[in-house]
Amino acid sequence: MKKGNIFSGMRPTGRLHIGHLSVLNNWIKLQNDYNCFFGIVDWHALTTAFDYTETIQDNIRMMLLDWLSAGLDPEKSTIFVQSNVKEHGELHLLLSMITPLSWLERVPTYKDQIQQLGSQGKDISTYGFLGYPLLMAADILVYRSNLVPVGEDQLPHLEFTREICRRFNYLYKCEIFPEPQAELAKVAMLPGVDGRKMSKSYNNDIPLGASSEEIWEKVQLMVTDPARIRKTDPGHPEVCIVHTYHSIYSALGIEELREDCRQGKMGCVVCKKRLAKIIDEQLAPLREKRDYYEQKPELLTEILAEGARKARITAGETMELVRSAMNI
Ligand code: TRP
């Protein structure tokens, strides 16, 4: 007996990196106990990248490979592309009828993003982008989800979804939608190798599919304690990116490592080699799975087709209830 339904999704905007693993591992853990729907949300990607769609199909494949390599299991979870399940679009439209504009305008990410992208010369003051949180609400509600595993940055969107959910149930005197709860992953804050936020656009990330060589190259770029010139100089692990990583990945030997650094007993190169080895060990099983799937493009197509077919069944049932409640 499953404990309920789950929806979560990611926008296919490029390769995933090790900073995404905490959210993904949370999904992987939940797929045993819940009826899970995981969507590659390509319509959401269009809200900002509407003028650059050439790479979207490649990005969808890459995201699927990243997910499968991390351990999402198409035998357990329903994995699909959002635009293949038109019910998301229909629910978005119907919910738009009951959504006050002011609710959308006050979602904190809205003005922030408009400003941020605006300063880069990109105008996203579109109808579609304003509706981003409502499309998200449709994603979640169309599966009558109980739980939504996300990162903390998505909480305002989830709160908005709950408000829409209550408003619908209230207006149409029904209990079609359970109120979805957030399931927060413990997100380890991994900085990029240069100390900025980890992002592929800064090229300071370690991709999930990185080879051993690529991992070593990236670890070599990590910024260490600038006051430490010679190996025997005492180090300051608190300001060192390599140390930040060790404290997440090498919990066991961390005290000793810190002392060796402070006393100038261990040089940065050795310390980096150790870290690269640990990250490599973490990513090796992912690479193996990725290789397996990469050689089977027809299997990838099949997984998405089967996922969409299953998703449509549940989404279709919800839409029957919704249309009937709205007399449509
Ligand atoms: N907005 C989410 C993000 O950027 C992606 C997303 C779209 C999503 N629809 C969702 C997440 C529904 C959870 C549930 O990460």
Tens-place pLDDT, residues 83-112: 999 999 999 999 999 999 999 999 998 988
* Predicted confidence (pLDDT) at residue 258 exceeds the cutoff of 90: yes
User: What is the 8-class DSSP label of residue 51?
Assistant: T
CA distances, 147 to each of 31, 140, 175, 319 (Å): 12, 9, 16, 19
Q: In this structure, which topology does domain 200-289 adopt according to CATH?
A: Tyrosyl-Transfer RNA Synthetase (1.10.240)
The upper half-sphere exposure of residue 140, i.e. CA atoms within 13 Å in the direction of its Cβ, equals 29
Which residue out of 13, 26, 63, 139 has the highest number of ligand 1 atoms within 8 Å of its CB and is therefore the one to mutate? 139
Query: Which residues make up the CATH 1.10.240.10 domain(s) of the chain?
Result: 200-289
pLDDT above 90 as % of the chain: 87
* Predicted confidence (pLDDT) at residue 252 exceeds the cutoff of 80: no
Query: In which band, very low, low, confident or very high, does the pLDDT at 205 lie, cut at 50, 70 and 90?
Result: very high
Query: Which residues make up the CATH 3.40.50.620 domain(s) of the chain?
Result: 5-189+297-326
CA 277 – ligand 1 centroid, Å: 33
The reply to whether CATH 3.40.50.1820 applies to domain 5-189+297-326 is no
Residues with CB under 6 A from ligand 1: 7-11, 41, 44, 136, 139-140, 148, 150, 154
Q: What is the pLDDT of residue 9?
A: 98
